[in-house]
Chain A
């Protein structure tokens, strides 16, 4: 395949300018690296918080899988009736497994765990009801499906009180959601900071190349031609910052990986930290590139017009 000549020329010219800009950054490694590092830190902060809350959200959906319904039966329900109910419920397709806890078992457990054993001795009879702990199957573990099942079970005549142990998971999820939203605000502010950093760097570069800009204008350079290398500089700064930010985030999460796995192991959970995915990384790079270009564009627009040859 052969490209039309003008397109070929255009690509060659841009590739040349892009490489030249890159070479210019490469020739001043320490200051370029410094700028890229500042950008990287500004990008790494919201990225890592975003990942962290993403992981927390994943954690809370995992807990959704452990949904449990507790059916407290009327005191008047006899042990035989409770047994019959348990058998009946076991037939329901929504239910994965269930366990009947008789008042006697409940009392024994309470006595053993609560430390109020002696106080219970004062009571004439067992105040505790029989409880059936229901574990819904996978398809009915979600918050909404579980709530529907809860309503269905609540209407059974033997059931006094039906409870879903999901409330706190929902609250946790809501909190994570709020934090996630506030990260966007922070990301916007830090994005603005990146714009300013790149804008300022490009401004300095424009000033140091003032003579060159004047001369090229004198011999017929268009504004586009003069703008181009600075825009590429901005792009490279943004990309370098994004790559460094990615490395910073990966290093930080690598430090957390082992302790989190150990903690998850203690809870018999298979939970593992997720780090930057392929799409996340692409998004980070794109953000860096866009911010870099935009910052350079703003600086160039403001400062290039002011330089006219004399």
Chain B
């Protein structure tokens, strides 16, 4: 699903965020991306989401070489990725329903399909009764669930999460991780950047550990 081939990323000013990173996340696999803050986790995710471009090396998403993606195709690549953020990034002037519906509206789904799929996604994250609520009235854990519902509503083959539990207490974090496992079980590839080592170590998934921009360790599982 994701393949990095000796990828380097140097930011203007000379900071090397990633150096010679190579790994392969198979379709349907789930893995964690770990490391201290500043180790390059966010940069790695940004490269996949085409928010940044590699300085050297090549990366592939679903067989497509992202180093060569033309600008006008970027939105369509992003539609294959469900993205989840530490600070949720919800639209606070819209209801939960409208937030979750956004990817479908963007992709031009028909009105009837939108309603059906949004409710299915909200049902999966357990927020079906909150569809008319405004995000501001929800707790942090609930807001992140809305974010997850939005990420999965158009059934993307890949979920990328950047510190999804960073603002949540341990119990809520476990719930959120459990949700990711459920999506993984139905075939969605999942890559989660997190430094919540306690939580990760309890889970049987591969780990990619970054240290100062280099991949220092990949632990068993789907990653090689």
Contact = CB atoms under 8 A, between A and B. Distances in A.
B51 A219 contact: no
A9 B107 contact: no
B91 A212 contact: yes
Contacts of B150: 219
Contacts of A309: 51
Contact of A9 (B46, B89, B90, B110): B110
9 contacts: A211-B91, A215-B90, A215-B102, A217-B78, A219-B151, A220-B78, A220-B106, A220-B107, A221-B106
A132 to B, nearest CB: 82
Contact of B79 (A13, A220, A308): A220
A277 interface: no
A219 B83 contact: yes
Given A212-B91, A309-B51, A221 B75 contact: yes
Contacts of B90: 215
Contact of B106 (A219, A308, A310): A219
Contacts of A31: none
Nearest to B73: A222
Contact of A220 (B72, B89, B103): B103
Chain A interface, DSSP helix/strand/loop, else mixed: helix
Most B CB within 10 A of own CB, among A217, A220, A308, A309: A220
A225 interface: yes
Nearest to A5: B110
A218 interface: yes
A38 to B, nearest CB: 26
Most A CB within 10 A of own CB, among B75, B83, B107, B151: B75
Given A211-B91, A216-B102, A216-B106, 15 more contacts: A9-B110, A12-B110, A12-B111, A215-B90, A217-B78, A218-B78, A219-B103, A220-B76, A220-B77, A220-B103, A220-B106, A220-B107, A222-B106, A308-B51, A310-B51
Contact-size category for B:
20 to 34
Given A309-B51, A310-B51, A218 B106 contact: no
B13 interface: no
Contacts of A222: 72, 75, 106
Which 8 A/B pairs are nearest by Cβ-Cβ distance? Answer: A220-B79, A220-B78, A222-B75, A221-B106, A220-B75, A219-B103, A215-B89, A212-B91
A215 B107 contact: no
A179 to B, nearest CB: 50
Most B CB within 10 A of own CB, among A12, A217, A219, A223: A219
Contacts of B91: 211-212, 215
B49 interface: yes
B12 interface: no
Interface in A212-240: 212, 214-223, 225
Nearest to A218: B83
Contacts of A12: 110-111
B108 interface: yes
Contacts of A9: 108, 110
Contacts of B77: 220
Interface in B60-104: 72, 75-79, 83, 89-91, 102-103
A299 B15 CA distance: 35
Nearest to B90: A215
Most B CB within 10 A of own CB, among A211, A222, A310: A222
A14 to B, nearest CB: 11
B190 to A, nearest CB: 17
Interface string A274-310: 0000000000000000000000000000000000111
A310 to B, nearest CB: 7
A308 B107 CA distance: 19
A219 B102 contact: yes
A215 B90 CA distance: 8
A254 to B, nearest CB: 42
Given A9-B108, A9-B110, A13-B108, A218 B102 contact: no
Most B CB within 10 A of own CB, among A9, A12, A211, A215: A215
Contacts of B110: 9, 12
Contacts of A221: 75, 106
A218 B99 CA distance: 13
Contacts of A214: 89
Nearest to A6: B108
B88 to A, nearest CB: 10
Nearest to B49: A218
B50 to A, nearest CB: 10
